[in-house]
């Protein structure tokens, strides 16, 4: 059997990659449904507060990025926690990644299905998207990380298309009132949790340090990347409040995509098709990275770290994901309670991970250093 070197590295990627990675891992499926969760215009303060907390979190992570353990990859983790614990972590990671990949894929496919291919069998869409991700992932970790540049350039301009929504007659600025929270319910807490979970993407960067440069200056890039996401979040959210008004907004499943379909130019109508297609770059990047993480976690808990990566290994992890998604779609996603449950699971897992991973790594490094 021919071997496949997925995790080789020839050079390390510079600081600017951190910026792009942080930003793109925060801009996938959750941004599409965020306005429906936040609804009231004052939740924009929630985005800002959560964004600032996320900055603190990233600062903690940057301590890890610059530590000498991180650069060593797997060996670094073993030095910190011991072989046994790392294996347990890997199993946990394996179990956490599977629903994460599945749920964001299902979410994205649902959008594709409801806007572009309403009469297509969803399994085909799932298969096609995963095939693209497999193709990207099969080029190895380094190239996939480099793919973030394409994902960023493909996705970031979409925000510009939403500028017209800030001007009358489409926008009615009185819809933004009241500006401060006048009542605070369980729904608002859920909104905050949702934002936190949406910002949790960069957690996975903690395991990719060997491919990234670990010089001291990366903190700046992490912070700018996160700021960019906060700006995109609040921009898109305010645009959707202006467009729908709070009362109508809570009833729409994909507010931003519907707004895309409202944009009309002289030559082109239904620009949403183009926007959805370009958003796919971000999405494919995310899934490919997670797929490689997934395979990596599998290798660790199967104790195959010292062997070469194989094509069969990657393909079988891909198949596990494919089958998991198809079953989840079949059993859970297609019913409303099932979909809500999956989404809640994802929100909670994301939020917990973003809280725990940086803290654990930070304290572990600190403890080791003081010893």
Partner 1 sequence: MVPYKHYSLLAIACLMWMAGCSSPYVENNMIEEIAPVVFWSVDKGTEGKFKISTLVPPLIQEKKRLLTKEVDLLKQGGKEFNLIYNRELKQGQLRMVLINEELAKKGDIEKLVNTILVDPDISMRVYLLIVRGNFDEYINNQLTKQENQDYFLYRMLKHYEDHNQGEMSIVNIHQFMKKLYSPLEDPILPVFQSDKNNFNYVGTAFFRKDKEVMFIQNVEDEIFQLLGNDHFLKVLAIPKLSVSLGRVRSDVRMKLSRDYSSLSLHVGLNGRIEEYQGEKEIQSEEQLQHVIQEIEGYLEEQTSDLLKRMQRLKVDPLEVGTHSLKPFSKEITEKQWLKYWGNMKINVDYDIKIQPLNNVERLM
Residues that bind partner 1 (CB under 8 A): 2, 4, 114-115, 117-121, 123-124, 127, 131, 134-135, 138, 169, 172, 174-175, 177-180, 182-183, 243-245, 247-248, 251, 258, 261-262, 264, 269-270, 311, 315
Closest to partner 1 by CB, 193 or 321: 321
Least distance from partner 1 to the Cβ atom of residue 43, Å: 15
Least distance from partner 1 to the Cβ atom of residue 174, Å: 4
Closest to partner 1 by CB, 60 or 252: 252
Give CA separation, 104 vs 22, 203, 287, in Å: 17, 16, 9
3-state secondary structure of 212: strand
Please answer whether residues 209 and 73 qualify as being in contact, where contact means their C-beta atoms are separated by less than 8 angstroms. yes
Closest to partner 1 by CB, 67 or 240: 240
Least distance from partner 1 to the Cβ atom of residue 13, Å: 22
Please spell the DSSP secondary structure of 116-151, one letter per residue: T-TTS-HHHHHHHHHHHHHHHHTT-HHHHHHTHHHH
Structure tokens at 180: 């401060």
Please answer whether residues 347 and 197 qualify as being in contact, where contact means their C-beta atoms are separated by less than 8 angstroms. yes
Least distance from partner 1 to the Cβ atom of residue 259, Å: 9
Closest to partner 1 by CB, 334 or 359: 334
Closest to partner 1 by CB, 189 or 248: 248
Least distance from partner 1 to the Cβ atom of residue 4, Å: 8
Closest to partner 1 by CB, 38 or 203: 38
Least distance from partner 1 to the Cβ atom of residue 70, Å: 30
Q: Considering only CA atoms, which of 99, 319, 293 is closest in space to residue 197?
A: 99
Query: What are the two backbone dihedrals, phi and then psi, of residue 3, each rounded to the nearest 5 degrees?
Result: -95, 160
Please answer whether residues 261 and 270 qualify as being in contact, where contact means their C-beta atoms are separated by less than 8 angstroms. yes
């Amino acid at each position: 059997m021919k071997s496949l070197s997925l995790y080789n590295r020839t050079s390390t990627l510079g600081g600017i990659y951190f910026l792009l990675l942080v930003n793109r891992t925060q801009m996938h499926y959750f941004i599409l449904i965020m306005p429906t969760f936040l609804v009231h215009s004052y939740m924009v303060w929630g985005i800002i507060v959560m964004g600032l907390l996320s900055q603190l979190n990233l600062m903690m992570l940057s301590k890890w990025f610059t530590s000498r353990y991180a650069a060593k990859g797997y060996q670094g983790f073993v030095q910190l926690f011991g072989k046994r614990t790392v294996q347990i972590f890997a199993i946990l990671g394996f179990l956490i990644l599977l629903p994460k990949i599945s749920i964001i894929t299902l979410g994205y496919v649902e959008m594709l299905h409801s806007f572009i291919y309403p009469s297509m069998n969803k399994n085909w869409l799932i298969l096609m998207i995963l095939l693209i991700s497999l193709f990207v992932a099969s080029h190895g970790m380094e190239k996939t990380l480099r793919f973030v540049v394409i994902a960023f350039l493909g996705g970031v301009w979409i925000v510009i298309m939403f500028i017209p929504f800030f001007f009358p007659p489409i926008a009615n600025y009185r819809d933004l009132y009241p500006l401060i929270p006048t009542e605070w319910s369980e729904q608002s807490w859920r909104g905050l949790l949702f934002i936190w979970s949406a910002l949790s993407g960069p957690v996975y960067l903690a395991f990719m340090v060997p491919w990234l440069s670990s010089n001291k200056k990366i903190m700046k890039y992490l912070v700018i990347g996160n700021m960019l996401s906060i700006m995109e979040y609040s921009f898109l959210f305010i645009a959707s409040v202006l467009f729908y008004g709070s009362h109508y907004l809570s009833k729409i499943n994909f507010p931003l995509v519907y707004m895309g379909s409202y944009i009309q130019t002289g030559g082109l109508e239904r620009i949403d098709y183009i926007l959805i297609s370009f958003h796919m770059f971000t999405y494919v990047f995310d899934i490919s990275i997670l797929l490689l993480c997934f395979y990596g976690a599998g290798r660790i808990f199967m104790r195959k770290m010292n062997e070469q990566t194989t094509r069969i290994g990657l393909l079988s992890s891909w198949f596990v994901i494919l089958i998991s998604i198809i079953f989840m779609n079949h059993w859970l996603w297609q019913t409303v309670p099932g979909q809500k449950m999956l989404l809640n699971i994802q929100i909670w897992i994301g939020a917990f991970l973003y809280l725990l991973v940086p803290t654990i790594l930070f304290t572990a490094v600190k403890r080791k250093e003081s010893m």
